[in-house]
């Protein structure tokens, strides 16, 4: 079975594994107080171009719940697209911290400044507002769960609304590498640092065994953040394992090279699908593509390939998701191309 069902099915890039082996017997301080972690943080800070704080945690769900629970007071909630990871895929992790996810209907995975503004105004204009969770934080993903991208213009419009309405802005960057490397991208890491209060750089889906880098710009969120990481069970005793991996990712531009390969493989598959008259459900310029297939086509491809059935289109067609990654082999793509051409 050839897998295109997610972008973290393999372990880690060989350079990451090699460096972990090379440093395996080093005797270093715990809890991220080692020189590798310091070097990784310095590399990220240099790219962000601001006085940011950087913290490493194990995974995306942990990053989301740690950030959100640190930002919000007990009566406050987080605005998110209804397709957002915290709304649809994290087993109520945010609600388990006592904060409600306030869902807004997404279009192609995105929400816009007008929707956010309207939601907040409706809350404050309601005579029953004290009976509801108060919106205080906006959560969006880049890329979205539909593989689509927010532009700089869209980000700046959302930032303007957040400033106007007194909201924080955070970005889930679990797949941020694939946004940064996309031909349609017009944002840098420095832009995210200046526009967002907090965001994170995903590593789990971009070539390392595990880990996300939380980048905090807002000084109110910076305060005592390591205490909150510890309280949420996120402070890894062997913290160097996170630092070493991110040090490798951001040295010699490996992070972008990994993403570039994945996007090249995704573009190739998109061209083949569309060239065979198969439409795309979302206009995705990243490593997730969503062809609309008949049930018969899905059955045929499923015999050889693992991919995700995303949603029903009608009685005979479904949108499916194919993911590419750093480890997607050209030979596997070529095999899939042959089978697409034979559909």
pLDDT level of residue 1 (50, 70, 90 thresholds): confident
pLDDT level of residue 157 (50, 70, 90 thresholds): very high
| Distance from the first to the final alpha carbon of the chain | 18
**Are residues 108 and 195 both part of a single domain?**
yes
**Predicted structure pTM score:** 0.96
Angle (CA) 143-146-148 rounded to 5° is: 45
Residue 235 confidence (pLDDT) = 95
Q: Which of 227, 249, 271 delimits the end of a domain?
A: 249
Q: Give one DSSP letter per residue of 235-304, joined into a string.
A: --TTTHHHHHHHHHHTSTTHHHHHHHHHHHHHHHHHHHHHHTTPPBSS---SSEE-BEEEHHHHHHHHTT
Q: What mean pLDDT do residues 147-156 have?
A: 97
Q: Convert the pLDDT of each residue in 256-306 to its tens digit.
A: 999 999 999 999 999 999 999 999 999 999 999 999 999 999 999 999 999
Q: Convert the pLDDT of each residue in 39-56 to its tens digit.
A: 999 999 999 987 999 999
- Sign of the Cα torsion 267, 272, 276, 280 reads negative
**Are residues 279 and 158 both part of a single domain?**
no
| Strands 134-141 and 168-172, bridge-based pairing | parallel
The Cα–Cα gap between 214 and 56 comes to 6
Q: Convert the pLDDT of each residue in 185-204 to its tens digit.
A: 999 999 999 999 999 999 99
Residue 258 confidence (pLDDT) = 94
**Are residues 211 and 273 both part of a single domain?**
no
CATH number for 304: 3.90.1150.10
**Are residues 244 and 277 both part of a single domain?**
no
Q: Which of 81, 52, 57 is nearest to 69 (CA)?
A: 57
CB contact set of 292 (below 8 Å; sequence gap of 6+):
278, 279, 280, 281, 313, 317, 318, 319, 320
The Cα–Cα gap between 71 and 67 comes to 6
**Are residues 159 and 305 both part of a single domain?**
no
**Are residues 125 and 28 both part of a single domain?**
yes
Angle (CA) 228-248-254 rounded to 5° is: 115
The Cα–Cα gap between 198 and 207 comes to 22
Residue 133 is classified by DSSP as P
**Are residues 218 and 72 both part of a single domain?**
yes
Q: Which of 196, 223, 249 delimits the end of a domain?
A: 249
Q: What mean pLDDT do residues 132-151 have?
A: 97
Q: Which of 197, 44, 195, 86 is nearest to 77 (CA)?
A: 86
Q: Convert the pLDDT of each residue in 238-250 to its tens digit.
A: 999 999 999 999 9
CATH number for 113: 3.40.640.10
Bin 109: left if φ > 0, else alpha if -120 < ψ < 50, else beta.
Answer: left
pLDDT level of residue 232 (50, 70, 90 thresholds): very high
Range of the domain at 297: 2-7+254-341
CB contact set of 96 (below 8 Å; sequence gap of 6+):
65
**Are residues 170 and 268 both part of a single domain?**
no
Dig out the tokens for 11 from the structure: 């372990």
Residue 249 confidence (pLDDT) = 97
**Are residues 212 and 149 both part of a single domain?**
yes
Residue 84 confidence (pLDDT) = 95
Looking at the chain, the whole-number percentage of residues with pLDDT higher than 90 is 97
Q: Which of 231, 249, 267 delimits the end of a domain?
A: 249
H or E stretch at 158: helix 152-165
How would you class 285 by CB atoms within 10 Å of its CB: exposed for 0-12, middle for 13-18, buried for 19 or more? buried
Q: What mean pLDDT do residues 118-126 have?
A: 97
Residue 4 is classified by DSSP as -
301, 237 contact by CB (below 8 A): no
Residue 9 confidence (pLDDT) = 87
Using DSSP's 3-state secondary structure scheme, residue 15 falls into: helix
Residue 16 confidence (pLDDT) = 97
Q: Provide the number of structural domains found in the chain.
A: 2
CA atoms within 13 A on the CB side of 4: 30
**Are residues 230 and 262 both part of a single domain?**
no
**Are residues 134 and 21 both part of a single domain?**
yes
The Cα–Cα gap between 48 and 304 comes to 42
**Are residues 98 and 244 both part of a single domain?**
yes
Dig out the tokens for 314 from the structure: 């009608």
Q: What mean pLDDT do residues 225-236 have?
A: 96
């Amino acid at each position: 079975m050839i897998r295109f069902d997610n972008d973290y099915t393999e372990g880690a890039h060989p350079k990451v594994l090699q460096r972990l082996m090379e440093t395996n017997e080093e005797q270093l301080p715990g809890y991220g107080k080692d020189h590798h972690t310091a070097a990784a943080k310095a590399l990220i800070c240099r790219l962000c171009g601001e006085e940011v704080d950087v913290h490493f945690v194990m995974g995306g769900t942990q990053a989301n719940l740690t950030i959100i629970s640190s930002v919000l007071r007990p009566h406050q909630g987080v605005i998110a697209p209804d397709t957002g990871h915290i709304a649809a895929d994290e087993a109520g992790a945010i609600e388990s911290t006592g904060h409600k996810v306030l869902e807004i209907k997404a279009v192609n995975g995105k929400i816009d400044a007008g929707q956010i503004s309207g939601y907040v105004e409706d809350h404050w204009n309601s005579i029953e507002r004290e009976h509801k969770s108060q919106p205080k934080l906006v959560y969006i993903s880049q890329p979205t769960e539909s593989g689509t991208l927010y532009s700089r213009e869209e980000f700046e419009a959302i930032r303007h609304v957040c400033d106007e309405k007194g909201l924080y802005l955070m970005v889930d960057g679990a797949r941020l590498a694939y946004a940064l490397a996309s031909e349609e991208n017009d944002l840098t890491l420095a832009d995210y640092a200046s526009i967002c209060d907090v965001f994170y750089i995903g590593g789990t889906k971009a070539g390392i065994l595990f880990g996300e880098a939380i980048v905090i710009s807002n000084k109110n969120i910076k305060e005592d953040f390591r205490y909150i990481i510890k309280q949420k069970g996120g402070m890894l005793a062997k913290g160097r394992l996170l630092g070493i991996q991110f040090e490798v990712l951001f040295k010699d531009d490996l992070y972008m090279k990994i993403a570039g390969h994945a996007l090249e493989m995704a573009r190739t598959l998109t061209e083949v699908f569309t060239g065979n008259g198969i439409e795309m459900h979302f206009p995705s310029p990243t490593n997730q593509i969503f062809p609309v297939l008949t049930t018969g086509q899905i059955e045929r491809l499923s015999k050889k390939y693992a991919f995700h059935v995303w949603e029903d289109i009608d009685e005979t067609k479904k949108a499916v998701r194919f993911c590419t990654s750093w480890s997607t082999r050209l030979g596997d793509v070529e095999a899939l191309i042959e089978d697409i051409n034979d559909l």
